[in-house]
Amino acid sequence: MSAWLATNLIAAALLPPVLLVLLLASGLILHPRRPRLAMSLILLSTTALYALSTPWVGGLLLKTLEISRPISADAISKADAIIILGGGRRIGAIEYGGDTLNGISLERLRYAAHLHRSSGLPILVTGGKPGGGTLAEGRIMQHVLHSEYGISTRWVEDAALTTWDNARLSAQQLKSSQIHRVILVTHAWHLRRAMPLFEAHGLTVLPAGIQFSSIQLDSVLDVLPTTAGLRDSTFALHEWLGIVWYKLRSFFA
């Protein structure tokens, strides 16, 4: 078993929905012998599932991760390059005849293309092959930028398996080209974890987040459980878990 797979299995067990399923299963198993404890676990798991599945709670959790506002024209003018963080692939997508980008990566790519067209800044794409597959995220992003946006990529990092690797390997390439001030394109909820990693490798980072969250209750639908709400809550909790893990890793390194 690879270190990447082991880490992701542990993370899955600590996050919804797997964690909630484990709590519910524990309650059902314990019910004959410890009914009060069992009912507490069942109530906790079902209440948490409901709350975390609502778009409002998902938005609240994502908002706790946001550390910036949309990037300004003044900040863009001070940068030397744009970094696009890979957000995942669809492995073996049959309609494309092989690996392609998932929706998260495409959203980042589209915004980076917008920034490039307004600034002319060179682009670095970063992402390897976490979970296997044939093509690295970095190579797929390079291809999509060229074939669908007509934009050339100056640097391609295609070995990173984690955000930690993205920062370390990207910084190596940029420093060799005397690039030190960069725009970092990723989702707004990812910047709190990603920015310090790039800064730790000597880069000055200008955050360019996308998809900022809303915490307003605009409709009764915001407090009804949805799959999108559970997805957002899981994204947020995954990021906080990753932040804690990286702090522990830095402490013991």
| Res 177: pLDDT | 96
| Res 49: pLDDT | 97
Say which residues have a Cβ less than 8 Å from residue 202's Cβ, sequence separation at least 6. Answer: 171, 175, 180
Prediction pTM value? 0.94
Alpha-carbon span 141 to 107, nearest angstrom? 11
| Res 52: pLDDT | 98
| Res 43: pLDDT | 97
In this predicted structure, the answer to whether residue 251 has a pLDDT above a threshold of 80 is no
Domain ranges of the chain: 3-64+220-252, 73-210
In this predicted structure, the answer to whether residue 209 has a pLDDT above a threshold of 90 is yes
Domain 73-210 CATH assignment equals 1.10.10.60: no
* Residue 80 near residue 183, CB atoms below 8 Å: no
pLDDT digits (tens, 9 = 90+) for 178-192: 999 999 999 999 999
Comparing CA positions, the residue from 88, 104, 253 lying closest to residue 160 is: 88
Alpha-carbon span 177 to 121, nearest angstrom? 14
Comparing CA positions, the residue from 42, 8, 16, 18 lying closest to residue 229 is: 16
Alpha-carbon span 172 to 130, nearest angstrom? 20
